[in-house]
Amino acid sequence: MAKGTTIRMWHRTIFMLIVMIVIGFGAVAVSLFRLQIVQGEELQTRAVDQYLKDTSINAKRGTIYDCNMKVLAESANVWKVVLEPAYITDKNRDLICTGLAEILDLDKNELLERSQKKTYYDVVKGKVETEIKDEIVKFKKDNQIGNGIRLIEDYKRYYPYGKFASSVLGFTGSDSQGLAGIEAQYDATLTGVSGRLVTAKNALGTDMSFDYEQRVEPQNGYSLVLTLDEVVQHFLEKYLEEGVVNSGARNRACGIVMNVKTGAILGMAVKGDFDPNDPFTLADPTEKAAVDALQGEERKKALNEARQKQWRNKCVSDTYYPGSVFKMVTSSMGFEEGVINENSPFSCPGYYIVADRRISCWKTAGHGGETFSQGLCNSCNPVFIQVGERLGPKTFFKYFEAFGFTQKTGIDLPGESRSIYYDENMGPVELATESFGQNFSITPIQMITGAAAVANGGYLVQPHVVAQVIDDDGNIIRTTDTTVKRQVISNDTSQRVSAILQQTATTGTAKNGYIAGYRVAGKTGTSEKIAEWIAQGKQGEKKYIASYCGYAPADDPQVAMLVFFDEPLRQNGQVFGSAIAGPPFAKTMSEILPYLGIEAKYTEEELAKLDTTTPDVRGKSVQEAQNTIQTAELEAKVYGNGATVVSQVPEPGKSIPKNGQMVLFTDEESASKTVKVPKLTGLTLSQANAAATNAGINISISGAALTGKNAVSNLQSIPEGSDVPPGTIVTVDFVELDSVE
């Protein structure tokens, strides 16, 4: 080969080597540029993510208080038990899994399997109480276990009063998220911001050669101060529950107590309800038995429906025909427009003809001639049909809308329903039926808000259940002020309607809600569930809703209350709001009003019938005790042969009817004497008094006996046949049987 050719080959080879080196270094340079400059920040983040492990630390959910700062819902410390498999060796694996299985009541074999995962973090049980946590800490200490088991602070929601106000409070889920009620409505406010625990770990999840752990503290959620008053709520729930039992209400019952001037909800309850500490368990045994009798998908569907029903707040989420309670609103319309006054004459033959319909009055024989005031006291349907005609559909609907019945109230609770109604183009039959509260559906919260406007001078106020939002230190973050949407009627109209409603509650159809001394303005309602009946082909039982809505004092209204019982059973052949809803209303308000500091003002007739208080005569001579009792306008009956009173019935300070009998025991033998409680229901007042006297007991009367002429006893506080000491006081409730609307 020629020398020149060889030289050229070497030149080409060297050139190619240079080119390859240049290309190689160029590729490396480009790659370095891409990795360091273009993707540098991203790769650095990914690298950090590979060795930094981030664990969430739950924030403490805010507390829910009543208006007096009594705790209604709070979050207490619990613990999350975490297994750290990367730290567990064959030497301590069995020890750790055996110990945790026993303490946490878990399967040991499952824990053994989980302990061999390629991870440093495996939650084996959450929401562990402090007592169990302490057992685990002791187990670790006793067995000198360092890493392998970790305890992370967590929180669990508690409702200290159980079922109390559950329909308002709602409940939280397993991750502490609000699922119903206030808990859901204010979830973002209550939740807070989770913290973080950042630690450095290698590929297996174990610690790096250097120590790194950073804790970002969680920010606790804000707390809520409600308008609910625990005492008011207690009275409401107590008598609402009693009313459900006595009436046999088959589709639950609800009650609302509202400050008429501010819209603050002082009490709101639904019966039957549920325990928010265990919300997924059916509280109604009948519902539970029906669901448990099913299987498969059918059972799953029925269970879900039953749970949704018990969680549903009937006060805001259900609509109903308000019935004659609505007549207070129609009355206000008529006065405000000047189409009626207190003495406007009407006639009721027992029905009224509208278009092609004959619409009956509840009193089929008719009320005859009556003024408007008498018509409202009699709850006469023909009177209110004629008031509706005088107003006309456009004016009627103008007020219907102004009272808030076409819009949600905007109460700060979830699930508020919309009303169903006819607009200003309604026909004459629709106008007639709506004028006395039928043929349209509203929610209970709409009805009591409208009633508050009738009571407070005509102002439609915004109902609300949260008064303040506060932080951990009690600093006020936000306050709910009174919001007046508009004035619907004049103060003059409000006062005139209230005066007639007071008369209605004293001597009219609403007198089963009468409370001595407190000047109640009230109205009953008995509404037919006509749509359901028609849907059933007008076959079977026609069902009703019995309600009572009122406020007090009538001359200066402070508090309004609505109670209604859905699908009650008939009592003495009746299913009317007066007999079913009136007594629970009266009992609740008779406790609420004095608690709220509202002064009683008794008439002379009421004072003559009021109970007195038993004096303390224990330790006195028999003669001295008899003189003291006589001075208190009571009678004395003595048992035993001793000279000194050793015990007495009723006890000192108990309420007893004037001219009632105190029983004095003068020796131990006489103190053991008992008498039997007689049957005290189904009687007039004089008959009940006679039965009590013959049995040697006292009765305390409540309900319509103070004002009603045809009052009959329907409940007694101590069952017939019970053995009690002589002189024991039995409370007997009376209802007025001619008050049927």
Judge whether 248 lies within some domain: no
Model confidence band, residue 57 (pLDDT cutoffs 50, 70, 90): confident
640: containing domain:
611-736
**CATH code where residue 126 lies:** 3.90.1310.10
Of residues 215 and 302, which shows the higher confidence score?
302
Mean per-residue pLDDT, 30-37: 58
**One domain for residues 213 and 154:** yes
Q: What is the pLDDT of residue 485?
A: 97
pLDDT digits (tens, 9 = 90+) for 509-541: 888 888 888 999 999 999 888 777 767 777 778
Q: Is the pLDDT of residue 210 over 60?
A: no
**Contact indicator for 286, 252 with CB cutoff of 8 Å:** no
**One domain for residues 623 and 516:** no
Record the tokens describing residue 504, joined without a space: 């209605």
Mean per-residue pLDDT, 595-624: 87
Between 2-11, 99-108, 328-337, 581-590, the lowest mean confidence (pLDDT) is in: 2-11
Peptide bond connecting 414 to the previous residue in cis, omega within 30 degrees of 0: no
Mean per-residue pLDDT, 601-629: 87
Between 81-95, 377-391, 587-601, the lowest mean confidence (pLDDT) is in: 81-95
Residue 302 burial class via C-beta count within 10 angstroms: exposed 0-12, middle 13-18, buried 19 and up: middle
**One domain for residues 397 and 501:** yes
Judge whether 283 lies within some domain: no
Which residues, 6+ apart, have CB-to-CB distance to 606 below 8 Å? 516, 517, 706
The mean pLDDT of the chain is: 88
**One domain for residues 84 and 11:** no
Record the tokens describing residue 435, joined without a space: 């004028």
Between 140-144, 604-608, 705-709, the lowest mean confidence (pLDDT) is in: 705-709
Output the CA–CA distances (angstroms, integers) from residue 354 to 385, 410, 661, in the order listed.
Answer: 9, 36, 58
405-411 contact pairs (CB < 8 A, 24+):
405/440, 405/442, 405/446, 405/450, 409/443, 409/445, 409/446, 409/449, 409/462, 409/463, 410/462, 410/463, 411/265, 411/316, 411/445, 411/462, 411/463, 411/464, 411/465
Q: Using alpha carbons only, give the angle 519, 591, 254 rounded to the nearest 5 degrees.
A: 95
**CATH code where residue 663 lies:** 3.30.10.20
List, in sequence order, every residue forming a beta bridge with 521; answer none if it has no partner: 551
**One domain for residues 583 and 650:** no
Between 179-188, 376-385, 472-481, 696-705, the lowest mean confidence (pLDDT) is in: 696-705
- Which range among 17-26, 66-75, 625-634 has the greatest average pLDDT? 66-75
- Which range among 117-121, 125-129, 452-456, 472-476 has the greatest average pLDDT? 452-456
Q: What is the pLDDT of residue 90?
A: 84
Judge whether 528 lies within some domain: yes
**One domain for residues 640 and 713:** yes
**CATH code where residue 487 lies:** 3.40.710.10
Q: Using alpha carbons only, give the angle 734, 675, 682 rounded to the nearest 5 degrees.
A: 20
**One domain for residues 618 and 553:** no
Q: Is the pLDDT of residue 634 over 80?
A: yes
Q: What is the pLDDT of residue 366?
A: 93
Query: Dihedral of the CA atoms 223, 225, 228, 230 (nearest 10)?
Result: 80
**One domain for residues 32 and 75:** no
Q: Is the pLDDT of residue 180 over 60?
A: yes
Domain boundary among 550, 568, 601: 601
Judge whether 305 lies within some domain: no
**One domain for residues 13 and 113:** no
Mean per-residue pLDDT, 251-277: 96
**One domain for residues 89 and 175:** yes
DSSP 662: E
Q: Is the pLDDT of residue 608 over 80?
A: no
Q: What is the pLDDT of residue 212?
A: 57
Judge whether 473 lies within some domain: yes
**Contact indicator for 352, 381 with CB cutoff of 8 Å:** yes
Judge whether 18 lies within some domain: yes
Q: What is the pLDDT of residue 32?
A: 57
**One domain for residues 479 and 551:** yes
Judge whether 285 lies within some domain: no
Model confidence band, residue 483 (pLDDT cutoffs 50, 70, 90): very high
Judge whether 370 lies within some domain: yes
pLDDT digits (tens, 9 = 90+) for 387-429: 999 999 999 999 999 999 999 999 999 999 999 999 999 999 9
Q: Is the pLDDT of residue 739 over 60?
A: no
Mean per-residue pLDDT, 128-142: 90
Q: What percent of the chain shows pLDDT beyond 70?
A: 88
**One domain for residues 129 and 192:** yes
**Contact indicator for 518, 552 with CB cutoff of 8 Å:** yes
Domain boundary among 601, 627, 650: 601
Residue 615 burial class via C-beta count within 10 angstroms: exposed 0-12, middle 13-18, buried 19 and up: middle
**Contact indicator for 126, 173 with CB cutoff of 8 Å:** no
Record the tokens describing residue 223, joined without a space: 């707390």
Residue 346 burial class via C-beta count within 10 angstroms: exposed 0-12, middle 13-18, buried 19 and up: buried
Mean per-residue pLDDT, 726-732: 88
Total domains present in the chain: 4
Domain boundary among 601, 626, 642: 601
